[in-house]
Amino acid sequence: MINRIRDIRRSKQLTLADVAERCMPPTTAQTIGRLETGMRNLSLVWMNRIAAALEVEPELLVRGESPDQPRYLARLTATGAEPLTTPRDAILPTALGSDAPLVALDVEEGAGEYRAGDQIWLRQHGPEDFARLLNRDVLAPRAGGRFAFGRMIDRDASRVAILPPGAGSRQIVIDNPAWIAVTEMLVRKL
Q: Can you give the residue ranges of every domain in the chain?
A: 2-65, 98-187
**β-strands 137-141, 119-125 pairing:** unpaired
The residue ranges of the chain whose pLDDT is under 70 are: 1, 63-70, 90-98
Q: Phi and psi (nearest 5°) for 134?
A: -60, 140
**β-strands 71-77, 80-89 pairing:** antiparallel
Is the preceding peptide bond at 25 cis, omega within 30 degrees of 0? yes
Pick the CATH number of 98-187 from 2.60.410.10, 2.10.109.10, 1.10.3720.10, 3.40.640.10: 2.10.109.10
Q: Which fold has domain 2-65?
A: 434 Repressor (Amino-terminal Domain) (1.10.260)
What confidence score (pLDDT) does residue 110 get? 86
Q: Is the pTM of this model over 0.75?
A: no
Q: Where are the beta strands (DSSP E) in the chain?
A: 2-3, 62-63, 71-77, 80-89, 102-106, 119-125, 137-141, 147-155, 159-163, 172-175, 180-187
- Coil, strand or helix: which one is 125? strand
Residues in a beta bridge with 104: 121
165 near 151, Cβ under 8 Å?
yes
What confidence score (pLDDT) does residue 75 get? 75
What confidence score (pLDDT) does residue 30 get? 94
What confidence score (pLDDT) does residue 94 get? 61
What confidence score (pLDDT) does residue 52 get? 92
